Amino acid sequence: MLSDRPYMQDGYHRERTAAYIWLISILGAAFILEMVLLSQWWPAGGRFVSALVLTTQALRGWKLWSLLTHCLIHDIKSPFHILFVLFSLAYLGRELEPLFGPKRFVAVFLATVLGGALSWWGVHFVHGGIFIGAGAGVMGLLVVLAAIYPEREMRVLFLPISFRLKHVVWGVLAVDFLWLVKYEISDATAPFEFSASAPLGGMLTGWIYFRFFHANNGWDRAEGFALPAWLKRRKATGSVAQPALRLPGKATADLREEVDRILDKINSHGFGALTEEEKRILDEAKDMLSRP
């Protein structure tokens, strides 16, 4: 429904703190709190931190919150871990949140974190282990961005070298897969204690989101996937007829076609890419939908 879209509501033009900024702030604050809790001045803080990390024993004990809370914990001995996550979220959030909206962006991030946790648990179910960090969420968002803009170039840190996003993803996939086979599956000690299974799970979750949700606007529109016939009938009979859109000087069919074109443009390039005329058309269409 047109009026349900966030950029068609009355406050769409107001500037608010982006969701990815909130995520960065939360992860940064959690890292500082973790350093305090694990310091010598807080002897009992380690028990609180250990309750948030992901372990096979925790899941066997039905501590399911650790499937998500582990992303709040990072290695305090190496700041590179948390810095990589924060800088990556800043880059990916700036690109993806205008396309998704804040709620969907956060939902996709948490889904990729969860997908990485389940993947790690599947690999370490027998051997056991401990996993922390939000790297799986970052890798999942990277896959989504590369699927949307495969030819876009990304510079490697401050070096004068850039790679296309699709090549970056394929390179990360190859390295992580080799790491998984060589170290994790055989329960060998990996350099830097890196677990490739979690990023691979996050990347798979990101691809599933793009393939079945973003690219097809929902499961029921995915190629090769269809809702049961009884559910389709119920969905059709329960739908509410939309009022006809009419603007001065435009036929109803022409207006609907114009609105669809504008919404596709927002989906591809973001709201900021619209012209003043296109914004005016959306405003007038929204006003007409809100009339009793």
Q: How far is residue 141's CA from residue 99's CA, in Å, rounded to a whole number?
A: 12
Tens of pLDDT, residue by residue over 161-208, are 778 889 999 999 999 898 888 877 777 776 667 788 899 999 999 999
Q: How many CB atoms neighbour CB 98 within 10 A?
A: 18
Q: How far is residue 251's CA from residue 60's CA, in Å, rounded to a whole number?
A: 62
Using the predicted structure, report yes or no on whether residue 35 has a pLDDT greater than 60. Answer: yes
Using the predicted structure, report yes or no on whether residue 224 has a pLDDT greater than 60. Answer: no
| Torsion sign, CA atoms 75, 80, 83, 85 | negative
pLDDT band at 110 (very low <50, low <70, confident <90, very high): very high
Tens of pLDDT, residue by residue over 134-158, are 999 999 999 999 999 998 887 766 6
- Is domain 15-221 given the CATH code 1.20.1540.10 in the classification? yes
pLDDT for the residue 27: 95
Instruction: Considering only residues 3 and 129, tell me which one the structure prediction assigns the higher pLDDT.
Output: 129
pLDDT band at 271 (very low <50, low <70, confident <90, very high): low
Q: How far is residue 54's CA from residue 36's CA, in Å, rounded to a whole number?
A: 20
Q: How far is residue 37's CA from residue 31's CA, in Å, rounded to a whole number?
A: 10
pLDDT band at 115 (very low <50, low <70, confident <90, very high): very high
CA distances for 8 relative to 5, 46, 245, 287, angstroms: 5, 47, 14, 9
pLDDT band at 15 (very low <50, low <70, confident <90, very high): low
What is the pLDDT of the chain when averaged over all its residues? 78
pLDDT band at 123 (very low <50, low <70, confident <90, very high): confident
Q: Where is average pLDDT lowest: 19-33, 43-57, 76-90, 213-227?
A: 213-227
CATH 1.20.1540.10, the chain: domain bounds: 15-221
pLDDT for the residue 214: 77
C-beta of residue 20 within 8 angstroms of C-beta of residue 93: yes
pTM over 0.75: no
